[in-house]
Homo-oligomer: A and B are copies of this chain.
Amino acid sequence: MKKILNDPEKYVDEMLEGFVAAHPEFYRMHGDSGKVVARAEKAKAGKVGIVTGGGSGHLPVFTGYVGEGLLDACAIGDVFASPSADQMADAIRAADQGAGVLRLYGNYGGDIMNFDMAGELVEFDDIECTTVLLTDDVASAPPEDHAKRRGVAGMVYAFKLAGAAAEEGRDLEGVTAVAQKAADACRSIGAALSSCTVPQAGKPTFDIADDEMEMGMGIHGEPGVWRGKLRTADEIAGEMMDRLLAETPLSSGDRVSVLVNSLGATPPEELYILYRTVKQRLEAAGATIVMPLVGRYATSMEMSGVSFTLCKLDDELEALLKAPCNCAFWRVG
């Protein structure tokens, strides 16, 4: 197992200990569960809170995006496992500034069950909650079953856009509407070349030959749409763009942001090779690219592979995308 760790059972606790110690200007632990991270400095009173939560192993997702113009708090589970309802309730309390709290997270069964229970727990605290789920992974279900799709790197855009709306003072209904609009505007697809290893499992989640890839694989190793010989960068990027553009038709004058994301081990050099094709395809469609993102924004530890996310913009979303944000992993403005 090519991982640097101590006891697999302590992987998340030790990770969070180091995470908060390395970036005290951005993050603090909230409460005594040891699994809830909040902004180092609370947002101003009256701001709508935004919380997320989910399994560990995806940094900067989820907890890295706690910060100004982004999230207020995050509940962190074990690697690829949901946090508990109690932890999520604690995160909601940490995010609350008296104006209600948006729960913004990916469409996974365990997270939904626990976040729903957390919402019931904080009713006693008189905290109003709304929910928006990310369902941006086009490979995880056909378009007619859109609501069954998993949430992947599109949540980076949703965090940014909803976070900016909350920071500028919109109310809970308004922030929730922006988050839903962002979720609706995003489509993603991934392609994996190798598995990661969950520490407690101690071996790769799946086997894949050295000359193989899997198109459409999920961020926990969920099966994709095909497995076959590794193709060239241009072929991989071309197919991924085909699949995204089929659901996000673009024409002249459209504006779009695009995230070319490493799933972990794939280095930025390869992302830039892919970005050439992404840019060519978007420009060939007549679209204008706004604030392209190339890097590691949503990962699966040391998994080798990439994902692309398209986020189609209008005036409102473009302004929110360009609004300031600041955390240890992303700064705008």
Contact = CB atoms under 8 A, between A and B. Distances in A.
Interface of A: 1-6, 11, 14-19, 21-23, 56-57, 59-60, 64, 193-194, 210-211, 230, 232-234, 236, 260, 264-276, 279, 292, 294, 296, 299, 301-302, 304, 306, 331
Nearest to A196: B267
A268 B59 contact: yes
A273 B5 contact: yes
Contacts of A18: 271-276, 279, 294
Copies in the complex: 2
A2 B301 contact: no
A273 B2 contact: no
A33 to B, nearest CB: 18
B304 A304 contact: no
A226 B18 CA distance: 27
Contacts of A302: 265-267, 304
Contacts of A15: 269-270, 272-273
A276 B4 contact: no
B59 A269 contact: yes
Given A1-B211, A15-B273, A21-B279, 20 more contacts: A2-B230, A4-B274, A5-B233, A5-B270, A6-B232, A6-B234, A11-B273, A14-B276, A18-B276, A22-B260, A22-B279, A22-B292, A57-B267, A64-B268, A264-B265, A265-B265, A265-B304, A266-B302, A267-B299, A302-B304
A17 B21 CA distance: 38
A257 B64 CA distance: 22
Contact of A306 (B4, B21, B275, B301): B4
B269 A11 contact: yes
9 contacts: A1-B211, A4-B193, A5-B273, A14-B273, A18-B279, A19-B272, A21-B279, A22-B294, A266-B302
Given A264-B265, A276-B21, A304-B302, A4 B292 contact: no
